Amino acid sequence: MADKIMFKNKINTSVQIGDELWYSNIVNQAPTTPLFSSGTITDIGDNWVQVDAAPFSTGSGNFLINPSFQISLGNEEATNGTFDTDLSGWDSIVSDIIWEQDINGNGYMYFDNATSSNYNAATQNIDNLTPNSQYQISFDYEIISGALEFKAQVTGGANMQQNYFTTVETGTYTTTFNTDQDANIYIKFEEGNNSTVEAIIDNFSVKEILLQGWDTGDGWTINGEQAEHTGTGGFLDGSLTSNFVEGETYKIEMDVISNNGDIILANVGPYTYGTGYANVTVNIDTSVIPNKGTAEWTQNSINLDKIRIFKGNNKNCVIDNISIIDPSTFEELFFMFKKPSDQNIASLNGYYAEATLTNNSSEKRELFMIGSEITMSSK
């Protein structure tokens, strides 16, 4: 995820896309302070650059552990989702659902003109998932004819996911769901719309979505490495690389992809008797795409180990690329631009200087002499 850095003054015109941005905190530290790279400049404006990683995104200042909601997937929970040699692990199998393999020896589940009258379905109970956690379901499919129905539901309960595949096509289906306290799901593939179906299913997978640094409360999910809120109001809690300091001023920035209603930083402001700790509303600049949300606050004595982002009931939003910095620290950074060393390997061919002489008098004047001196400072 690219980050944009704004500067107070106009950037020198010699800076170009492809150059590298480096920085160091040399204002209040010794001259031996190491340099940190923010990566390659991918876009540029008069007073801003977009780079691979802004300062603080590698732990040198951003208080968030995972500012871009990067995820990883846990262990495989489905049984025999690759159908290497058979359909073992799947139940309710009848004659119209069979195991086959392609010319390369890759096995798959094949619906051979399965009909509803034969109660054709392939099912699997997946137990012992992590309660109140988010999982990803994915599988490859090929619809040859008819309609295929896919269901995922809490064991003995309502459908969490349901989808009909009615178009002749080949593709990969991916979706997410949240487990409840029971942490069991029931998977079912069957013919859909009371018709026959000829279809192929392969590479069925159920894996837990592991999200370091964030706890998703009511209404919050992580989709496509972005935080999304829908429905019930709730908190999105972000873990910090180091605790906030009471009385210190902090600044948050975020990309607001879409939004309805206020985005609130919960209980970060000062305490008022009878009211409690104050919330801070994020200001959203809608003149830029994506919209940019910002807020500053002076930290109180609670929630020093996390940031709490709150959205109310049915106040939907999608946010990404969140950074929290101590502005006083950011102002102490010294930025430098560097040409890529692998592309700039030649020495200078020479020096060039140009001067314009202007006679401001109303009379002609004699040009007595022009001289110049050049001292090489680098090569």
- Can you tell me the distance from the alpha carbon of 154 to that of 176, in angstroms, rounded to the nearest whole number? 13
Q: Return the pLDDT at 331.
A: 62
Pairing of strands 107-114, 97-101: antiparallel
Highest mean pLDDT among 20-29, 73-82, 189-198: 73-82
CATH entry, 74-210, from 2.60.120.260, 2.60.40.10, 2.60.40.650, 3.40.50.2300: 2.60.120.260
More confident residue, 155 or 184: 184
Domains 74-210 and 213-325 agree in fold:
yes
pLDDT of 54: 56
Tokens of 125: 């109970």
DSSP state of 365: -
The model's pLDDT over 142-167, given as tens digits with 9 standing for 90+, comes to 999 988 999 998 765 665 788 899 89
Q: What is the pLDDT of residue 153?
A: 85
Q: For domain 213-325, give the CATH number.
A: 2.60.120.260
Residue holding tokens 């379901």?
Answer: 137
Read off the tokens for 34.
Answer: 């190491």
For residues 186 and 121, the answer to whether their CB atoms sit within 8 Å is no
pLDDT digits (tens, 9 = 90+) for 254-293: 999 999 999 999 988 787 887 788 899 999 999 999 999 9
Q: Tell me the pTM.
A: 0.58
Each residue of 20-77: pLDDT tens digit?
888 776 554 544 455 667 778 888 888 878 876 555 433 334 688 888 898 899 999 9
Greater confidence (113 vs 311) lies with 311
Q: Tell me what the mean pLDDT of segment 228-235 comes to.
A: 94
What is the pLDDT, as a whole number, of residue 195? 73
DSSP H or E segment with residue 142: strand 134-146
User: Hey, where are the domains in the chain?
Assistant: 1-61+329-347, 74-210, 213-325
